[in-house]
Structure formats: structure tokens, C-alpha cells
Amino acid sequence: MTIGFIYVAIAMGLTMVYGVLRILHIAHAGVYALGAYAGLTLYLATGNILAAGAVAIAASITVGYLIQRFVYAPILGRSPLIPLTLSVAVFLLVSEMIGIVWGYYPIGFHTQIPFTTYFYGEISITSYQVLVIVATLSSVLLVWLLVNRTRIGLASRAVAQDSEMAQAIGVNVKTVIAFNFIVGSALAGLGGILVGIYYSQVSPYMGGLVAYKGLVVIVLGGFGSVAGAVLGGLILGISETLLVSAVGNFLPRESFAFLVLILLLLFRPQGLFGRRATDRT
């Protein structure tokens, strides 16, 4: 269930990128993994978890921005399959480079954060879970404030709704794109380091687990709707855990998410909150 919060952070970032560029940014998972590794490296060097978190975010912002500038920007405006293919290629590239630089074995991520369990009657919650929940909630709140209470956030929402119109009324679309990527990638990096700490390990292909689930979440929440992404992530996280304990594995977890998605789309093609998914035909 705690994992739902991580999906939320990742999905928010994905949604923001999708909102401005209409690209399914699978490379987001590569940014996430790199954030985790950057954070781990700094933690091993300094022992300071906050600095590690900051570096994780900084590294992912840099990589995310580079991807946007050098990979996506030049090829916009054509069939969306091209950026999708490139995005997957970049994700594989980042994962493989992590393997080459840091080694292919998973690396342990043990922090000095004391592991304690708090009990409230039947419910128990560990200090690690608290960390994840607090970190994700505060970042979600921060992003929500950014998007809904600042000028650039307003511009961002305008571009997400209708980029041509936004441009016509003077919005600097390039700045908005950069903004969305920076915020989105920061969320990915944060998610990465949190996952590393929570599970006490990182591995080069760790992004693989979230890459495709992230997609499910943004569809569940409706493309482009940040609120929907948040709710979608939580619902997915909770239902996965619940169903696994209740029914057992009649299908592996990943496909379970997709199965839910397919069924949902059959009956409600616009996702939970989003715009219409159907053609008007």
C-alpha cells in the first residue's frame, strides 16, 4: 500500500510530461533509476540522507531536461510512435549505462534511519513507511501548489489543455515544457531514492517495474489530470496489495494492473477523471 504513494509521485511526473508533449515518457523510469543511484552514491560518500535526496533530485532534473532538449524536442509534430520508440530506447540506454558504471549487481542501500514500528491497535506502521508517505505527500502538495497557485502553473495547465491556444495568448510554451520536465523529473528522482531506501536496494533495471505501471496509473486517472493520477496511483497500490492477499496470484501483479485497466477502459473509456478516450464515431 505504501507503494501506491510512490506510484503517485511517478505518475504525477508522467502526467505533467504527457500534458505538455503528449508523449508517453517511458524514459521517466530511467530518470527514476538514475535518481536512486545518484542519491545512493552521495549517501555512501557523505552519510547525509537529505543531501542524497537533493542530489537524487538534481541528477534526475538534469537528465530529464537533457532528454527533453536533445531527444524529444527535435522530433515533435510527427507520429507519436517515434518519440515512444525513442523513449523506450533512452530508458534501456540509461539502465544499461547504470549497469556499466555501477555494476550489474543490485547494491544495498542501508541508511542510518532507525527502523521502528509504531502500533495503533491493530494497525502497524514502520518508520520507513512514514518517511515514504510524508515525502510523497509533501511533494504532491508542493506540486499541486505550483500547478494551481503560480503563474507558471497556470501557463502549464493552459498548455496541457490546448497548446495552440495557449501560444496564441502569449504563453511561452518552451518555458512551460521545461518547467513540466523539471518538476516531473524531480518527482521521478525523489520516487527513485525513496524506493531505494524503502527496499534497501537498487538495481540497474529497477525502472522496469514502474515504467509500465506508471502508464496504467495515468490512464486510470485520465490523461493529463494530475488529481486523477494521484488517486489512480493510490487505488492501484491499495487494490494490488488487497487482491494479492485475498485472492492470491491468479496472474502476476503487473498484468493484474493491466487487466484492471483493460476492463475499466471497456466500460469507462475516459478513465476515472479524464477527457474522453473515445472518438466521436
Partner 1 sequence: MRPIVLEAYPITLLTIIGTYAIAAIGLNLTMGSAGQVNLGQAAFIGIGAFTSAILTTEYSMPFVVSLLVSGLMAMIGGTILGLISVRLREDFLAITTIGINFVAVSVFQYYPLFGGSFGIGDIPRPSFFGFELSGPSYAGLVYVVLSLCILGALWTRRSWLGLAFKAIKEDEIAALSMRIDVRKFKMIAFAIGAGYGGLAGCLLAHFRTYIVYSDFTFSFSIELLTIVVLGGLGSIAGTTMGTAIVVLFPEVIRPLLQYRLVIYILMLIVLLRFQPEGLLGEKSALSRYLHSIVVRLYRREGAH
Partner 2 sequence: MASTKITVAAIAVIIIVVAAVVGGYYATLPKPTAPITASTLTTTVATTAPAGTIKIGFFAPLTGFAAADGYSALHGALLAVSDLNDKGGLMGRQVELVYYDDGLSADQAIAVVTKMIEEDKVSVVISGSYTGTTLAVAPIVEKYQIPMISAYAVHPMITANKTWVFRVGMMGQTEGRAAGYAAVKVFNATKVAILYDDIPFGVTLAENAKLQAEKMGGQVVFYDKFDDSETDFRPWLTKIAAIPDLGALIFLGYYYHANAITQARQLGIKAQIIGAEGFDSPQLIDLAGDAANGVAFVTDLDRDSSSQVTQTFLTSYKAHTGIAADMVGASAYDAVMAAATAINSASSLDPASIRNALGGLTNFQGAAGVILRFTSGHNAVKPMTIQMVKDNKFRFYAAITDPDIITPPS
Q: Are 143 and 164 in contact (CB under 8 A)?
A: no
Grid cell 527533453 in the structure block, residue: 68
**Distance from C-alpha of 163 to C-alpha of 178, rounded to nearest angstrom:** 14
Please identify, using beta-carbon distances, which residue of 79 and 112 lies nearer to partner 1: 79
Please identify, using beta-carbon distances, which residue of 109 and 256 lies nearer to partner 1: 256
Smallest distance from the beta carbon of 117 to partner 2, in angstroms? 7
**Distance from C-alpha of 11 to C-alpha of 61, rounded to nearest angstrom:** 16
278 binds, among partner 2, partner 1, none (CB under 5 to 8 A by kind): partner 1
In the three-class reduction of DSSP (H, G, I as helix; E, B as strand; rest coil), residue 115 is classed as: coil
Contacting positions for partner 1 (CB under 8 A): 18, 22, 24, 70-71, 74-75, 78-82, 84-86, 88-90, 92-93, 96-97, 100, 212, 215-216, 219, 223, 249-252, 254-255, 258-259, 261-262, 265-266, 269, 271, 276-281
**Distance from C-alpha of 30 to C-alpha of 91, rounded to nearest angstrom:** 5
Q: Are 4 and 236 in contact (CB under 8 A)?
A: yes
Smallest distance from the beta carbon of 198 to partner 2, in angstroms? 9
Smallest distance from the beta carbon of 131 to partner 2, in angstroms? 15
Please identify, using beta-carbon distances, which residue of 24 and 193 lies nearer to partner 1: 24
Smallest distance from the beta carbon of 120 to partner 1, in angstroms? 37
Contacting positions for partner 2 (CB under 8 A): 3, 96, 99, 103-108, 110, 115, 117, 126, 199-201, 203-205, 208-209, 241, 244-245, 248-249, 252-254
Please identify, using beta-carbon distances, which residue of 122 and 279 lies nearer to partner 1: 279
Cell matching residue 234: 493510490
- H or E segment to which residue 117 belongs: strand 117-120
- The DSSP annotation for 67-91 comes to HIIIIIGGGTTS-THHHHHHHHHHH
Single-letter amino acid, residue 144:
W
Largest pairwise CA distance in the chain: 59
Smallest distance from the beta carbon of 208 to partner 2, in angstroms? 7
**Distance from C-alpha of 13 to C-alpha of 211, rounded to nearest angstrom:** 12
111 binds, among partner 2, partner 1, none (CB under 5 to 8 A by kind): none
Please identify, using beta-carbon distances, which residue of 172 and 201 lies nearer to partner 2: 201
Please identify, using beta-carbon distances, which residue of 43 and 223 lies nearer to partner 1: 223
Smallest distance from the beta carbon of 219 to partner 1, in angstroms? 5
**Distance from C-alpha of 29 to C-alpha of 109, rounded to nearest angstrom:** 19
